Amino acid sequence: MAISEEEAKLERFLEWLQVNGAELRGCNIKYSDSRKGFGIFASSSSTQASDAFWKMSDVLLVVPLDLAITPMRVLQDPLLGPECQKMFQQGQVDDRFLMILFLTLERLRINSSWKPYLDMLPTRFGNPLWFSDVDILELKGTNLYHATELQKKKLMSLYHEKVEPLVKQLLILDGDSQSEVSSEHFLWANSVFWSRALNIPLPHSFVFPQSQEDVGEYLSTSHTPETDQVSSNVEKDIQAQVPGATSLGPGDTVWVEGLVPGIDFCNHDLKPAATWEVDGTGLVSSVPFSMYLLSVAQQCIPNKEVSISYGNKGNEELLYLYGFVIENNPDDYLMVHYPVEAIPSIPFSDTKGQLLEAQKAQLRCLLPKSALNHGFFPQTTSKIRESDEKETVRYCSFSWSGQRKMPSYMNKLVFPEDFMTGLRTIAMQEEEIYKVSAMLEELVESRPDEQPSETEVRMAIWEACGDSGAFQLLVDLLNAKMMKLEENSGTEEQDARLLEEACCDEEPSRDWDGRRMSRNKWSSVVYRRGQKQLTRLFLKEAEHALHLALSSSDHH
């Protein structure tokens, strides 16, 4: 019987895992569907002889950390290592770029030892970098449209300036004159990294083996970020307890981003059946320095897909990084921001700029859908997540005359105070600015040796302005956001209709091939519809708050 190309690939990969010391104990890797690619499934016989170790029967898969693609691994690579060491020391690149460069090169190398793994990875992705010119228009008006344009520009210039010349040179060094590098290889490597990397708490002794102190040196060097993310996610000696590796003392952990072949075939679910942990000593998995997949389900249902959670992420982040969305995602959020570039053109921009700085005000905020549960118009009666419980405190030890009363709506406010204080400052009128200056002067006179604190500046501004200016500005921002979304892609109702038509009697997770709507379009419509819904709901909250602020004594 002829086996399909997919099966042959899988066969080679499983053999490669085994040769490299990985163990599939209670699971199989199988093709899931065209949307998810390969996934991990509970095997039909997950109770094995090793059941005597009750803990072990929950371990589904063990992968030695030596098999992980990490920055250290790239720096030790015989071909790429020396070049990367140079760039790294000059501070030209960050550790994420190293891994993306490594993936680009290894995919092209004819005799790469990573071939069985790399062949298993998807060749195209569902994130907007891979959208056609027609598909990308579905995102017009959303944050992602702009973010994708910027990202593409950045990656392209990075490719032409650094990647292309270096990879060409290394392929020749490797004796390979056949392979041609293209920007698509680099885009592929970028998407592989962002959709599959984990932040791994590595045991200190694994990262800094006694004989290789020099390799460890690079971790503490400072370098410029190539991406606008945190420059280096390697936080040496971070005080962290590693789940499942309690034998490590605090501070004995180095967090490193990397790819772990095998574990990275776990797909995402809101109700995950498994979680991954690092085993430094081998106590749990009997493989020291390994990562294992642990079943957390009550019982393992044979042949059911084993999923993990990628964290509480909104559709904006899921689509941007992983290329998929979740309909009615409970973790969805709306990003609202006041455009920084508009500040120079507002009245008294210098003074306001200084005040924004003095109070560490935010001009952007993420508004989670779950925050609506304790607003003026709760959507559901569901229990509020602990993480959403927040005390908004407006209190200051210094007391000015004519103190404003705490408004009655305080505890129903869904907008974070960091953002509110930023908006209050932007919206200040001339007489309010004078008032604040006078109040802060009074404060400094009372204790000349000390500058007003962040909180005191915030309180003085609130004392002088109240909330109505900030709410009015917020209503304007949300209205503008709604207009931009609707102008570009119609109303929330139109999106809902599109999705209904696409879905008539079919699960969206079924094969995309026979559908009337492409997967990219479907993802875009689900995402933008969520954005319109959240904009509408937060606008309603802001309008109500404005109404209360104007009608209460808040309005001096």
What's the CA gap between 552 and 556, in Å, rounded?
9
Tens-place pLDDT, residues 144-203: 999 999 999 999 999 999 999 999 999 998 988 888 999 999 999 999 999 999 999 998
Cβ-proximal residues to 138 (8 Å cutoff; 6+ apart), any chain: 131, 489, 520, 521, 524, 525, 528
Contact call for residues 195 and 124 (beta carbons, < 8 A) = no
- pLDDT confidence of 382, banded at 50, 70, 90? low
Q: Which two tokens stand for residue 490?
A: 């119609």
Bridge partners (DSSP) of residue 293 are 61, 276
| pLDDT at position 241 over 80 | no
| pLDDT at position 219 over 50 | no
* pTM of the model as a whole: 0.84
Strands of 111-182, DSSP E = none
| pLDDT at position 505 over 60 | no
Tens-place pLDDT, residues 273-313: 899 999 999 999 999 999 999 988 767 788 888 988 888 89
Tens-place pLDDT, residues 323-377: 999 999 999 999 999 999 999 999 999 999 999 999 999 999 999 999 999 999 9
Point out the least confidently predicted range of 230-244, 257-271, 505-519.
230-244
Look at the alpha carbons of 325, 328, 330, 332 in this order and tell me if their dihedral is positive or negative: positive
Helix (H, G, I), strand (E, B) or coil at 154: helix
What's the CA gap between 208 and 202, in Å, rounded?
10
Cβ-proximal residues to 31 (8 Å cutoff; 6+ apart), any chain: 6, 10, 37, 38, 39
What is the edge-to-edge ordering of all strands in the sheet holding 59-64? 23-24, 59-64, 290-295, 274-279
Helix (H, G, I), strand (E, B) or coil at 76: helix
